[in-house]
A and B are shown apart, each in its own frame.
Chain A
Amino acid sequence: MNTVWSYLIAFAVWPGLLFAAPLGWLELWFMRKLVARLQGRRGPPFFQPFFDFMKLLGKQTVIPRGVSRGIFLALPLVSVGAVTAALAIVPLPGNPVPSLPGDVVLLLYLMEVPVLCEVLAGYVSRSIYGQVAAMREALLSLAYNLPFLVAIIAMAQEAGSFRMSALQAAPYGIVHLLAGVTFLLALPARMKLNPFSIANAEHEIVADSHIEYSGPPLALFKLSHAVELVLLTELFAVVFIPATPWPLVNLLVYLAAGILVLGGVTLLATATARLRLAQAFRFYWVWGGIASAVTMAATLVR
């Protein structure tokens, strides 16, 4: 198959948009349903995240006065594009994209783009709430990226390569366990869940950095978040769950691991209050820092 076609298929079909969007909605529904059941509520129907998306698509787009139309509309598109492209690099079973040297670096870069888009979306909104959200988002990303990046870099060090397929095939060891825990530590903040949801604290700043977004652009940001959930959970599964020789079994194990991880972070989110920015920052630089140091030390000791 032509390389260009394989990239296009990976981006648009599997593991890209066509499969990632429904999977993201499924994961969103699972989280919302789990939270609801834990809180003694009924929770949303199965198709609710999809309904939300479709409803937003049909709504009017309002662009605040004095905001550049181009950048305002480009940000959600770039966000969805980047996060889907990142997912297309993840070596899920059946992914047609060939493994490239250094694709881990590309993946990490692409994963930062949605965060950057959110920060910019907050700053261009000309709303004080959006700007405070953007500031919080930017500062928080400095905090959670410490354990997040260290977890992936430690795995690259362990595998001796910055190739995703090498990370996936690395022989299972103690570094997997330590780096996996470090990765999980960063996950709630990356997913903007409690106790690290200060950037979307609706009771302080009304909404997150998309406060001025409406209609299809907001739907795209929501879609970007759904695909990001899939990306984060599947990245965890691919890198930290030992692979079997059977692709279909791998796929099922990865999906199950993704749901399990989501269940874990959802449990944490329901059992906690929202920490302040400084507290979240301190948590990541102290506990995330310690976990990072231990993980890196383990890769060197080997």
Chain B
Amino acid sequence: MPYSFPLGPYHPALEEPFKVKVQCRGEVIDSATVEVGFSFRGIELLAQKRNWVEVITLIERVCGICSNTHAMTFCMAAETIAGIEIPKRAAHIRTIIAELERLHSHLLWAGVGAEDIGFHSLFMEVFSLRELVMDTLEAISGNRVNYGMNCIGGVHRDIPDPMRYLPALDALSKGLAEIVIPTFTENPTALARTRGVGRLSREQAVEWAVVGPVARASGLDIDVRKDQPYLSYAALGFESVTRPEGDVLARVVVRALEMVESIRLIREALLSLPAGPLRATEGLPEIPVGEATIRTEAPRGEAFYYVASEGGATPARVKIRTPSFVNIPAIEAMVTGQPLADLSIIQASVDPCISCTDR
């Protein structure tokens, strides 16, 4: 007998409120519908009512995980309108923070994914590794969630002693290489829950317009860091990671290898941190009439910002398209025909950020 099964909006498998409502026949999912908007905050409208400095603080709260990405992308848009070029040291520091943020986001995801397949020990391991990243971010910025590093024209805080953070990166590399990656890719029970599960073919990935690790796990080699390098990515020689399989395991592997690449980027950036000022401008920025679109690679995929200025104290328009906003609908395609038991891990494999989506 068919029945409908709601996952969410409040459910142990979700960190944030959204809803996947599935129609099941026995243990098999017939169809699914995704609902979002349970915590809509209207940040785009609020951004038109605050001045250029206040908006950075507001925008940083679009997301609690990729907070830096949003503030940074907004600042990059404002800098583009004002024709400001940020100092090299600031670009390096922004890159370091962005990659640390990617590490902590991916580790958080890996932990949640482990929990969703009932692997509590792996969750504990991953979260103890994540603490290393959080401690590093806290040591650099003084904050664990909203780092407050970005300002229009550069960054607020310096990294005076880059070598101090290398041991944490070494420990992280070791933990990833010896525990997290082997457990996900070799433990028979973990493989049984991820291999061949929630498949999204390359064609479907194009059709549903997914971005980020989800797209790269379906064989689409799209990454803004490679396609349109910004900050210091071109100088540091970024290499993207893709897998052709399109299943949950491929998404795990893509994120795991991206973490390894992030560690390499951070280490390179710390070692080659150029001398120089932190900001290109002093005092409050003046943003002339103009508009800009900026794309950056957030941990979950491409973040798109359109910012327009009429020369006033506030932005005229801030349009935010977050990666989760485009990835979440693809859950419908992934779960159809799959066992109900896999619903949690499949929706989690997209790494849906509801805070971003309900911006």
Contact = CB atoms under 8 A, between A and B. Distances in A.
Given A132-B5, A278-B339, A203 B189 contact: no
A201 B118 contact: yes
B121 A39 contact: yes
A202 B193 contact: no
Interface stretch (B36-44, B76-84, B94-102, B340-348): B340-348
Contacts of B343: 204
A35 B122 CA distance: 12
B134 interface: no
B12 interface: yes
12 contacts: A35-B120, A35-B121, A39-B121, A39-B124, A39-B125, A128-B6, A132-B5, A195-B118, A197-B118, A206-B11, A273-B192, A274-B118
Contact of A277 (B12, B187, B339): B339
Interface in A235-262: none
B233 to A, nearest CB: 35
Contact of B118 (A39, A128, A203): A203
Interface residues of A, number: 27
Interface of A: 35, 38-41, 128, 131-132, 194-195, 197-198, 201-204, 206, 270-279
Interface in B330-344: 339-344
Contact of B121 (A38, A132, A201, A203): A38
Contacts of A277: 27, 339, 341
Contacts of B145: none
A41 B119 contact: no
Nearest to B339: A276
Given A38-B121, A204-B344, A274 B11 contact: no
A198 B187 contact: no
Contacts, number: 80
A275 B121 CA distance: 15
B5 A274 contact: no
Contacts of A195: 118, 189
A204 B341 contact: yes
Chain B contact residues: over half helix, strand or loop, or mixed? helix
B341 A276 contact: yes
Nearest to A268: B189
Contact of A274 (B13, B124, B125, B193): B193
Given A128-B5, A271-B121, A276 B13 contact: no
B12 A276 contact: no
Contacts of A203: 12-13, 115-116, 118, 344
Contacts of B339: 276-278
Contacts of A132: 5, 340
Contact of A270 (B5, B120, B192, B193): B120
B189 A275 contact: yes
- In the A-B complex, the 10 residue pairs with the smallest Cβ-Cβ separation, listed nearest first, are A274-B118, A273-B119, A39-B124, A273-B189, A272-B189, A273-B117, A203-B13, A276-B341, A273-B190, A270-B121
Contacts of A202: 12
